[in-house]
Structure 1
Amino acid sequence: MRALLIIVLVAGLGWCGYWFIGASAHKRTVANWFELRQAEGWDAGYERVAVRGFPNRFDTTLTEPRLAAPQSGWGYEAPFLQMFSLSYKPHHLIAVWPVEWQITSPQGPWTISHDDARASIVFAPRMGFPLERATFVASDIQIDGPDALDVAEIRLAVERLPVRDAGYHLGLAASDLRPAEGLRKTLDPGADLPAVIEAIALDAEIDFDRAWDNASYGLDQPQPTRINLDRAEARWGDLRLRASGALDIGADGRADGEITLDAQNWRLLLDLIRGAELLSGDLVDQAEGVLGLLARLSGDEDRLKIPLTFTEGQMRAGPLPLGPAPLFRLR
């Protein structure tokens, strides 16, 4: 009996030591991460960090965290950020955001509020802690800023592909997006579409030049090398958009490949492009004539299925040149 008691006491003391060492490691990891961002020129800091949850959890709370990337104008700040993990599984984190936080941008500040927002993040328990999978769920989101928007729910999921160390499956779903009056007038000046965008969805596989790990979240981020777009879809009233295809991304961020766009009631899409001034009015008018001819040749004037071709930094919609293609670079 005495031997058993000694074993229990030794095990208990050992577990206590493990917890306090782990709590100190959590604090040190947070401090080191912010110090690295500061060394890269970020405005990065926090008021304090506390770790609680003895004996079975590490509950880490950052008070007043802030991050602002150098020169880009993008930043983040919040009253707090909480991260929870089981003490015997520290590589699996649950992150919880406050009900309101702020993002700054070159266009101005946004305030994000919601009923609930949380993420689950799992890292592989090996050198560098590469990302294995992550999910993010938020409900009843209000975005107030230069372009205000309400969203009923957002779900985001990322999972590393098992046969590709730097390949990830990405899924996104957002429902009942309600643009505020100003943004809606910009997108839909003729009020041809309903007040609510019913759904936006994305399903894709993305290869990067290296895996995402604990060294990937500063200025030197992994960059995409290939995008396999299985499905990108939007439903907004009578407008239905769907896209699929594949792009190879060069080191300079230029894409080569083809994305097939399937648009039901496609003229509504041109009205949105015209209203948002994404293309010049003359180019939109020219596109409407050419695309209308292609739709008539297909036998359905309201539905357009057309390849978007990316090559040598330029983009075309079927035979119609659209000008410079966007660069696929993370900054």
Structure 2
Amino acid sequence: MAENQVDVAKPKNKHSRLGLFLPIGLFLIAALLWSGYWFYTAHQIETRLAEQAKTLTSKGYQVAHAPFRVQGYPFRMFLQLKDVRLIAPNGKGLAVPALEAEASAFALDKWMFVATKGLTLYRGQGADQSDLGQVAVTGDALRVSVSGWTQPLQTIGLEGLNATFTPSKPEHPFVLQSAQRLEGRVTPTKDGVDTVDFIWRASGAQAHPQSLLGRLGQGQNFDMAFQGRMAQASKFRGDLNGWREAGGAVRQVQASLHVGELEVFGRSEALLLDPNLALSGPLGLEVKGTGDPFAFLLGAGLISAEYEPLARAFVGTKMTADKPVKLDFVFREGGVYVGPLRVAAAPVIR
């Protein structure tokens, strides 16, 4: 009799749960490491700001702000600063009632700052040692971006929309009253030398009637731009004499002004400051429009009223829309020269 063969099923191997728990475990480890990094970095930011405040205070600065904590976990570094105040020993500085600062936790080299409730500029003292007071600045957007914190020179961008400027002392007017748009940018040059390229633009702007731009604009809105390359940029910290003595200069200068039918373009290979902080260097101007160019030249202070009769022989008397007036000025020895003729005092920068 044939033996009955019974197949006994082999027990199946149980599936390992490692494949289920390993990703979860790795995720938890990564989250723990990232959390440690974030909180450590947040603490470092708070510590360094406190140390920087102490350093500035020891140098005579006024530094103040309300207590704060870094927020934004897990992917941002966000600071909400209140009652910020930073005043240099020369009396110049700013106060910001509410300042927001933000950076990606993945890229701490770039920060964006927003003054959500405007700011106040402290202007320091004038040439006669009088207090120039403050300027209240408000607008729809007042933003500054800074990148390259670990580099000797940073890239800085500035933007203001529908900005207004209100001086606390009307007897010391501020150059601008309002601007539909303000833009500025400072970028270190790629050669690694202590040099930056800069550009500043104002669109739809109104200037104070007593200021240089106000005299040029004659109550009309204007657009202007100013750009160039600054040497010895790291020395330019508000101490103009120190910057000048270190070889500071502004090169490859280009400027433009559009107001009404008037268009003005300026160029200079290099502008420097003399020991009295008066401008020194050549300036080429091209004035387009109609009428007498002296209305602009007198308003700009490039020709003084007392020198007008003599200067007309060098400049001419009329300009037309299709024939611009081209002028070459030289700032030297505290004066403005057209050829050999001194026509005004050179502007003094303070």
Q: Give TM class, smaller chain.
A: 0.7 to 0.9
Q: Which residue of 2 aligns with 1:295?
A: 315
CA distance 1:248–1:151, change in 2 (3 Å): closer
Q: Which residue of 2 aligns with 1:233?
A: 256
Q: Which residue of 1 aligns with 2:48?
A: 29
RMSD over aligned CA atoms reads: 3.4
Q: Which residue of 1 aligns with 2:144?
A: 119
Q: Which residue of 2 aligns with 1:62?
A: 81
CA distance 1:315–1:293, change in 2 (3 Å): closer
* 2:280 and 2:330 in contact (8 A); partners too: yes
Counterparts of 1:212-227 in structure 2, within 5 Å, are 225-227=248-250
Write 1 or 2 for the structure with the bigger share of strand: 1
Counterparts of 1:1-331 in structure 2, within 5 Å, are 1=18, 2-70=21-89, 72-105=90-123, 106-123=131-148, 126=150, 129-145=151-167, 146=170, 147=173, 149-179=177-207, 183-184=208-209, 195-208=219-232, 210=234, 225-247=248-270, 249=272, 256-264=280-288, 265-273=292-300, 284-296=304-316, 303-312=324-333, 314-321=335-342, 322-323=344-345, 326=348
* 2:282 and 2:330 in contact (8 A); partners too: yes
**Aligned sequence identity (%):** 17
CA distance 1:297–1:271, change in 2 (3 Å): closer
Deviations 1:138-186 (A, max 9, x none): 110111113360111001111111114321111111111123xxx3266
Q: Distance in 1 between matches of 2:295 and 2:109?
A: 47
Q: How big is the shift at 1:15?
A: 0.5
Question: Quick check: which has more Rg, 1 or 2?
Answer: 2
Larger relative contact order, structure 1 or 2 (CA cutoff 8 Å, min sep 6): 1
Q: TM-score, normalised by structure 1?
A: 0.80
Q: Distance in 2 between matches of 1:313 and 1:194?
A: 27
* 1:83 and 1:93 in contact (8 A); partners too: yes
Q: Distance in 2 between matches of 1:296 and 1:131?
A: 45
Q: TM-score, normalised by structure 2?
A: 0.76
Q: Distance in 1 between matches of 2:274 and 2:32?
A: 53
Q: Distance in 1 between matches of 2:114 and 2:166?
A: 20
CA distance 1:79–1:188, change in 2 (3 Å): closer
Letter in 2 for 1:154: L
* 2:253 and 2:270 in contact (8 A); partners too: no
CA distance 1:305–1:110, change in 2 (3 Å): same
Q: How big is the shift at 1:229?
A: 3.3
Structure 2, unaligned runs of 5 or more: 1-17, 124-130
CA distance 1:20–1:299, change in 2 (3 Å): closer
